[in-house]
Chain A
Amino acid sequence: MFGKKWGIKWRQSVVLGTLAAGMVLAGCNGEEETSSKSSAGTSSSGSDEAATITFWDENAGPQRTPIWEELIKRFEEENPKIDVEYVGLPKDSAKSKLDAAIAADDMPDVGSVQTSWLPEFSIREALLPLDDYYENSELNGLINQGALDFNKEIVQGNALYGIPYTQNLDVLWVRPDWFEEAGVKIPETWDEFFTAVEKMTDKANNRYGYTIRGGAGGSFQLQRLMFAYNGFEEYVTEDGKSTLNDPKNVEFVEKYLSLYETYTPKSDITNGYKEMIAGFDTGVVAMVQHNIGSYGEHKKALEENQFQAIPLPKTEDGKYVAEGGNTIGLSIFKSTENPDAAWKFVEFINSAESQSYWNEQVGQIPTNADVIKEDWIQNSPHIQTAFAVYDDPNTILYKPPFYLPDYRSILDNLVDSGTQAVMSGESTAQEFLDEWAKAIEDSQKQYSEHFGK
């Protein structure tokens, strides 16, 4: 019976089986080539000649896309020979699309690039140094020097790869009307924060003191709160150790995540940005941690006296802490065929008028000194809150290791789910922080071995 016929049948099974299993491989390969729309660049580099440049926005959506379209329209009116093609990338996938574009050597001319991406992009030699352009530009001296220095400090070779056009700050958005009603003090310290979360919770009326971002992006929130609590300046010490699993962080994470369910909604464990903000804007939670950039959404949903931005609570010794590099800038990609036209666009967006327009619409802090004096800045309480933090000489700016290539994926894949594991009681704060610290230390070790730094 085990003759020829058996062999043929066996072979048939193998072929059928292979085809069936092959579907898994063919299916897996689709994502690699997703993004890259070809970078234009039709004519030569002289700025007086006609040129087309491509611009990639890293946070496209109904709020920001129209702002860019308006600014591009103004730019093209002023520079009729330069044509700007706008490509909007959704925030969640912008980084991976840029990664793919760089890998395929098919980059845009100009991109809106988050400061935390600069070290990685510069190591990959994707960006054009802008030092000379900036020095000879009318912008020289106007853009926030601290932000420029930070951008140079974090990249290899200390060149200037991005001109920041907006700055952000993490804050707590609170309901001042509820606090007043309940006679509870708006928190300034961490003790006051935890007390307020407790006191502002009234489950019978479907009100919670706070909402935790347990889903996508929750790692960033947790990290910023941890540092605001512990007051550390270092993320990774000289000898390659991470401060993440320091007992102070363990203490904080235990205390903070134990708020879950008792004083926060149950669905917090999968909360992304939208759900978290919706909780605040629909009157379910009294406090939410986000940045000043969500001002526009609160303004749409709530009355003027129903929302207020306050700084994250101070450390035990009374200092504000903020994450360094919370800016977004414009970078020119190395493959551009029209660097002069691209620079003109960068310069235009960073002009007082454009920066003012962009930041006023979004509700963030401009970096151009001429804009800071404008009325709308003086009359925006949330931006004044941000200045109070940034202008305080005692404020600690800690630097996350943006240069580690897997910094971001550690946060996305390990920390987001680790937070959920602690929230659901499947893991302890200590185990979770040890794992996080180890991932960072391993990555740091690999980086140091490779770059000798």
Chain B
Amino acid sequence: MELVQKPGLGELRERVRFMGVFAFLAIAVLIGRVFYIQILDSAAWIQIAEDNVLRRVDLPSTRGMIRDAHGRVIAANRPSYNVYVIPGYFRIEGFARFADYLGLNRDERDRLEARMRSAEGSRRFQHLLGRADIDREALALIETHRAELPGVSVIATPVRQYPFGELASHALGFLNEVNADDLREFAGRDYRAGERIGRSGLEQAWESILRGRRGWVRLEHDVRGLLISRDSMAGLGPDRRREPVPGRDLVLTLDMELMRAIDRAFRGKPSGAAAVVDVRTGRVLALYSRPSIDPNLMTTGIPALLSHEIDENPYRPRIDKTIYESYFPGSTFKPFTALAGLQAGLIDARSQVTCTGRHELGHRVFRCKHVHGVVSLHRAIVESCNVFFYTLAEAVTMDRIANMAFEFGLGRRSGIGINQETPGFIPTRAWYAQNYPGQFRIGHTLNTAIGQGNTRVTVLQLAMAYAALANGGTLFVPQLVDRVEGPDGDTIQTFPPTIRRHVAVDPAYLAMIDSALAGVIGEQAGTAHAAQIAEVDVAGKTGTAQVSRIVRDPTDPRRSWSTQRDHAWFAGFAPAQNPEIAIVLLVEHGGSGGHEAAPLVTQVVREYFTRIRPGAPIPSVAAFRARQPQR
């Protein structure tokens, strides 16, 4: 080349070569950087890319329904529309309109706005609850103005609904939001904040069956959080959907018509409880505690004011009086004392005691309600003579009474499997020796014999025990759930009756007691004769349990209602011949069992056998109907 080179052109070329090296290195660094991001560090970025567009949207499972023995729906689900907002996508200028659509009051409005404005970092892109369970009108407004409300979404979630309201609410229980403790305790079970969990009763005990399993779908969203209908993300993972598994249904042994009948019978009585069981199976047909709280309220959240009122209510609506509270059984306990004496061979049908209205023991006097004169065991039960049982108790001793009570399931948890169940209490010599060393007196045995002193039973325990009296000595485990059904109505599992034990008592003695129990209503002198009904013969025992609760503030009118009056009991079964149901009913501080409890029981029994009980009427009802003039 014949080039005339200007001075410095060689040096210039040197420099250009240096530039080439520099450029090569610079672009090599860029390639290295891209390699690092795209290959070495890619896992994290892929995850973010997926999370950017594929948001997991829950597919809620529907909670199983609860039905009674005859298919009546006791717990179901209705849709609740909850409005959520993602602050990061929401235009805060539009807040006033948004709040109007939701119908928020000034206070709620301010709180929501503050929460939205204060959301920072990743929390700006999380759903924030605007309002739960909006009405149809608000729903229509939100849907109409969807386009102007970026970041707002309406999510329909099922809410538990209890068509029978307060009825059977203690047994059913309720749902409320999972709390931090639940999330810890059930860590493996995929509970989510805001989700509802069975909090008591059957809803709690059968949570895992009723709940089902949540599903989800990963749907593509754009940067504003709007759902993209297109479905073509080739580069992203395959696990896009998990179908929800609906919860299973429970079919109970309860009969809600019977529950209604009990509720009607209790009209005018502020507080009490009742249990009805099938003596042939141990199935619980009714479990009634009064007063109670509407579980619909409990599930949606009770306003603070109402909650306070419930807490202050002297009738204690939160307490399940069938299994959580125990009471002195009073005279309803006497059959077991009698059986202890019979089984020990200390008395028989011919044994007699003369009742002078009082029984002296050392310097103490134990009283009877009446002067019964010469009484046999039969009369002692029919007319509820305490002196007979005081006399008997001295011979039988405390531990024989206690063992007979235990035999019938008293003083032990029944095993119903819901809520907290109290075992009640049956005192023994050993217990006195341990707790009151040297203080035991025969008087304690006397009190135990008539269901006072330290003896405490639950309504359900007594019902199971009377069922055993009625059925020839089979003690069942009380059963509330008959079967589990799938969503299509197919039976998944049925639960047969569970026998706890056959009581170690001679059937002849049981027959003697049953006959005496029939006399309580059936005989002229019976303590509950006034409650007799024509349709069905009812057997049972009245009880008037003395109450030793201390009146803390007798001037408080709300407290003074109760505490001095005795609890009124009636425990029995029907029909007296060929028994089908055992029924125990307690009117708290009702007064005399014969006057206050027995009529309620016979009213319920009449309703049950003439109207509620399925199948052909029992002979006595049929005969009664035949006697009635045709209308």
Do A and B pair up? The answer is no
Using CB atoms and an 8 Å cutoff, list the residues of chain B in contact with chain A: none
Using CB atoms and an 8 Å cutoff, list the residues of chain A in contact with chain B: none
